[in-house]
Amino acid sequence: MLASYAVRVESSLGRRYPEAPHPYRDDFQRDRDRIIHARAFRRLENKTQVFTRRLSDHFRTRLTHTIEVAQISRTIAAALHLNESLVETLALVHDIGHPPFGHSGEHALDEAMREHGESFDHNLHALRIVEQFEQRYASHPGLNLTFEVREGIIKHSHDYAPADYPELAEYLLDKRPPLEAQLIDHTDEIAYNTADLDDGYEAGLLKLDDIRQGVSLFDRYYREAEREFPAVRDKLKFNEALKRMLNHLVSDLITHTAHRIQSSGVQTVEDVRCYPERLAAFSPATDAQRAEAKQFLYCNLYQSAPLRPQKADGEKIVFDLFRHWIANPAALPASYQRKMETDTPARVICDYIAGMTDNYILDLHKKLISRVVTK
């Protein structure tokens, strides 16, 4: 049973191009399936989350991270009586606009675009993917997703000022997104904070004692695991502590969001949209623990010396190829050359690079740049 403030599919603002209803799937379920079958979704399998596959092939990728976010999101949506199909769809699409090489690739693309008076935003790029780049249907361009999914793509993680983005006016930028979209920013962080501790420890880049000292929530549950399982090896106690840390974050998000909903008095989706702030949130104590874990990972993993070379390599590859095509636009594939009739060369090149997997961009760089340099 859905709560009164949950999004109901029958109240959806609909698709850009009207379609007949499906006999046994509602519109949000159809959107989920369209995303799963999209080429851009498949490419997440070969896009870096934190570690490139040059280090190991069993750490998280953008795809496995996305699946974890979807699992956590559905659990929380069910507990809060929100629309699980919409939440799952938004979780599955939330990273579809990320370029190769993780955040270093995103940073490099944004810097390259700013040299031309433009910028790169992975949420806005994701909207371009589902609206324009995915061409699967004879009756309409893009995936023709419902308004609520398109809105959640751009608004799940932060608010855009209406005056700065007039082209997004249809997405109600002066209002909050529904709770289903608000959840995704938090579930994304729950997933990557716990997963990156796991992968960092497995890679030997994070030491157990350092994690315990720097992440108080993890240490609390590690001490519990030591008391309950004193004879097992450290890795199993680590796994137990991490599982309990994840459960703590999920449980707190459910409990505190439910409390905020009740205290706010919201009764409808429109009430949620018009509320002065987002309602999905951790309690103050847990939010401080979340921020501590995030800061620990930033200082000890994301900015660590062993990862700097792969980050620098990724940024250089993006810059090299971007500047190569700026100087030689005729070297772009014909389909991208045609796009320059309606978009700037910088935007077209940015779109091309952002869609690449790690493996593909590495091969292209070797073919187009490295070969020239070594001659």
What pLDDT tens digit does each residue of the chain (375 aa) get?
A: 999 999 999 999 999 999 999 999 999 999 999 999 999 999 999 988 776 655 556 688 999 999 999 999 999 999 999 999 999 999 999 999 999 998 899 999 999 999 999 999 999 999 999 999 999 999 999 999 999 999 999 999 989 999 999 999 999 999 999 999 999 999 999 999 999 999 999 989 999 999 999 999 999 999 999 999 999 999 999 999 999 999 999 999 999 999 999 999 999 999 999 999 999 999 999 999 999 999 999 999 999 998 888 899 999 999 999 999 999 999 999 999 999 999 999 999 999 999 999 999 999 999 998 765 444
Residue 119: domain span? 24-308
Q: Is the residue at 254 inside a domain?
A: yes
Q: Provide the residue type at 340 as one letter.
A: M
Q: Looking at the structure, tell me whether residues 242 and 326 fall in a common domain.
A: no
Residue where a domain terminates, one of 288, 308, 328: 308
Alpha-carbon distance 80 to 77, whole Å? 5
Q: Is the residue at 64 inside a domain?
A: yes
Structure confidence at residue 76 (pLDDT): 98
Structure confidence at residue 307 (pLDDT): 87
Q: Is the residue at 10 inside a domain?
A: no
Structure confidence at residue 24 (pLDDT): 97
Structure confidence at residue 63 (pLDDT): 94
Structure confidence at residue 102 (pLDDT): 87
CATH code: domain of residue 258: 1.10.3210.10
Q: Is the residue at 4 inside a domain?
A: no
Q: Looking at the structure, tell me whether residues 290 and 344 fall in a common domain.
A: no
Q: Looking at the structure, tell me whether residues 174 and 246 fall in a common domain.
A: yes
Q: Is the residue at 15 inside a domain?
A: no
Structure confidence at residue 310 (pLDDT): 87
Paired strand residues for 146: 15
Q: Looking at the structure, tell me whether residues 65 and 133 fall in a common domain.
A: yes
Q: Which two tokens stand for residue 345?
A: 């060369």
Q: Looking at the structure, tell me whether residues 255 and 297 fall in a common domain.
A: yes
Q: Looking at the structure, tell me whether residues 35 and 138 fall in a common domain.
A: yes
Structure confidence at residue 59 (pLDDT): 83
- Cβ atoms 276, 268 nearer than 8 A: no
Structure confidence at residue 371 (pLDDT): 62
For 76, counting Cβ atoms within 10 Å of its Cβ (0-12 exposed, 13-18 middle, 19+ buried), the class is buried
Q: Looking at the structure, tell me whether residues 330 and 182 fall in a common domain.
A: no
Residue where a domain terminates, one of 285, 308, 331: 308
Structure confidence at residue 41 (pLDDT): 97
Q: Is the residue at 8 inside a domain?
A: no
Alpha-carbon distance 241 to 296, whole Å? 17
Q: Looking at the structure, tell me whether residues 291 and 341 fall in a common domain.
A: no
Q: Looking at the structure, tell me whether residues 210 and 97 fall in a common domain.
A: yes
- Cβ atoms 91, 73 nearer than 8 A: yes
Residue where a domain terminates, one of 308, 323, 343: 308
Q: Is the residue at 12 inside a domain?
A: no
Alpha-carbon distance 363 to 57, whole Å? 18
Q: Looking at the structure, tell me whether residues 185 and 276 fall in a common domain.
A: yes
Q: Is the residue at 282 inside a domain?
A: yes
- Residue 15 sits at φ, ψ, to 5 deg, of -100, 155
Q: Looking at the structure, tell me whether residues 38 and 155 fall in a common domain.
A: yes
Domain count, the chain: 2
Q: Looking at the structure, tell me whether residues 225 and 339 fall in a common domain.
A: no
- Cβ atoms 203, 51 nearer than 8 A: yes
The reported pTM is 0.94
Structure confidence at residue 57 (pLDDT): 61
pLDDT one-digit tens code per residue, 292-344: 999 999 999 999 998 888 899 999 999 999 999 999 999 999 999 999 999 99
